[in-house]
Homo-oligomer: A and B are copies of this chain.
């Protein structure tokens, strides 16, 4: 069943990671797992240096340069019990952020993820949450 907006926002804020979908000029769409932090109607996704990458200039950044719209999908999956499944989707639009905002989101990310405590970020994208929707197999 569809979830109310307030419930979607709570689930989004409590989710530990998500799948970020962006537009890809050649292939139509793209998707990649993403860690994130939420603050009110804004959301930030870092490019970390903890998980090994061939480059910190990621395809998702190029995709967002061409089209700033994205979707972050967070879910609870249980292969054995589908009565507890839920997912929530945040519609995003990347926006500019000043140094102070970026530092604020870096603090939120370090508070959320122990793995980020000692590591600098290669980059950070800040998004406006333009909408949320969600679904649950059972009443939440």
Contact = CB atoms under 8 A, between A and B. Distances in A.
Interface of A: 1-2, 16-17, 19, 21-23, 27-33, 50-52, 54, 67, 69-73, 75, 77, 79, 82, 85, 87, 89, 91, 115, 137
- Give 8 nearest A-B pairs by CB, closest first: A28-B69, A21-B21, A19-B19, A31-B73, A21-B31, A21-B29, A31-B71, A16-B79
A79 B115 CA distance: 9
A89 B50 CA distance: 21
Number of copies: 2
A2 B54 contact: yes
Given A17-B77, A51-B137, A27 B71 contact: yes
B85 A51 contact: yes
How would you classify the secondary structure of chain A's contact residues: helix, strand, loop or mixed? strand
Nearest to A26: B69
Contacts of A79: 16-17
A24 B84 CA distance: 28
Contact of A54 (B1, B21, B30, B137): B1
B51 A82 contact: yes
A2 B53 CA distance: 8
A75 B70 CA distance: 19
A19 to B, nearest CB: 4
Given A17-B77, A137-B52, A22 B29 contact: yes
